[in-house]
Chains A and B, each alone.
Chain A
C-alpha cells in the first residue's frame, strides 16, 4: 500500500513505460495506410527502451520487423505460410523488405509470457 500512496504524490511516475505503450498503439493504427510512419514510431520505441534500460515484452518484439521496423499484422502487412516439410513451422515474411522469421512448433517449450503462471493478478486503473 505504501507504493500506491507514493504514486499519488508524484504525478510524473512511469513516463517511459507509458510512452512505449502509446507508441505501440500509434503504429498499429497507422500500419496499413502509411507504413513509413509506423517504422519511425517503432524505431523510437526501440531506442527509448535502450536509453531508459527497460525490457520490452517478447510479444511486442515479435510484431516488429527486424529489417525495416514496420508493424507486422498477419494478412495485411505479412504473409504467413506453414512449412510442411519441417512439421508445421510457421514462416512470416514482410511485404516491404522481404525479411522472414520462423516460429518453430514445440509443445514442450514456451516462453515465459505465454505460461499461465505468468499472470499473478490484473489491476484496473480508473
Chain B
C-alpha cells in the first residue's frame, strides 16, 4: 500500500480523472496536496489515504465471554478447550524430544542387563516374559514411538508416530507429516522398540483409562485372536 502512494502516476490515470496531461508525473500524495485547500495538514492526508476499508462480508469479532471460575472442573476444562489436543501446534521434531525422555524413563524401570543374564530373548513366550509384561503394562506410554503391525482395517497398517495422548479407546499420535492421527486400540497390534528389541503390544489389553491401569492385571499375556 505504501509503495503505491509514493510512486509516480502514469498518464492514463490523469486522462481518466479528466485533468490535462502533465509533463512531470506526480505521486498520489503530491496530487492531493495540490487539489485540497491549505487548511488540511499533511498528516491528515497520510492518515486518510492509509485507512483500510473492509468490503464484503466482514464481521467484527465478538469478544469471548470470561469463564466463571466457580464452575466444576469438568465444565471449566471443556469451556477453555483444554480437553482436546491442538492439531497443528506440535511438530514431529517436538514430539521426538518427548521420545528421548521416554527412553531414559524406561531404562530406570526395566534393568535390561539383569534380564539378559537370566536368558531373556525378547520373543513372546520366553523366560520371564510374564513378569516383564506386567511391569510394562503399568508404565506410561506418552512419548513412545509406536507402529501398527496388523489390524482389521487395512489402512491403519504401517502407520507410525509418537504418542501424545492416551484415552480409553484410542491412541493419538503425531507422524512424520506433522499431523495428528487417531488410532483405535481394540482392532490393532502395535510394535515398540526398546534397547534393540521389538516388542508386540495387543491393543485389547489396553482398553482402560491410563489412571486405572496401575491397579488392573492382565490375564493372558500371550497370543490373542483379533
Contacts and interface: CB of A to CB of B under 8 A. Distances in A.
A39 B108 CA distance: 25
Contacts of A35: 82
Given A98-B66, A98-B69, A36 B84 contact: yes
Nearest to A39: B82
Contacts of A48: 211, 214
A105 to B, nearest CB: 25
B94 interface: yes
A19 B139 contact: yes
B67 A12 contact: no
Given A26-B143, A37-B164, A69-B82, 11 more contacts: A11-B115, A26-B142, A34-B86, A36-B84, A40-B165, A44-B211, A67-B76, A68-B76, A68-B82, A69-B77, A96-B80
Given A11-B114, A34-B89, A97 B211 contact: no
Interface stretch (B9-17, B20-28, B130-138): B130-138
A8 interface: yes
B99 to A, nearest CB: 11
Contacts of B132: 11
B105 interface: yes
Interface of B: 66-67, 69, 73, 76-77, 80-86, 89-90, 94, 97-98, 101-102, 105, 108-111, 114-115, 131-132, 134-135, 138-140, 142-143, 164-165, 210-212, 214-215
A23 B98 CA distance: 11
Contact of A12 (B69, B82, B105, B134): B134
A3 interface: no
Interface in A64-99: 67-70, 96-99
A25 B101 CA distance: 8
A37 B211 contact: no
Nearest to A35: B82
Contacts of B84: 36
A26 B111 contact: no
B108 A18 contact: yes
Contact of A70 (B81, B82, B85, B89): B82
B214 A51 contact: yes
Nearest to B82: A36
A91 to B, nearest CB: 15
8 closest A-B pairs by beta carbon, nearest first, are A12-B135, A47-B211, A36-B82, A22-B105, A11-B111, A39-B82, A15-B138, A19-B140
A29 interface: yes
Nearest to B77: A68
A33 interface: yes
B70 to A, nearest CB: 10
A26 B77 contact: no
Contacts of A98: 66-67, 69
A12 B164 CA distance: 24
Interface string A1-43: 0000000100110011011001101100110011111011100
A24 to B, nearest CB: 11
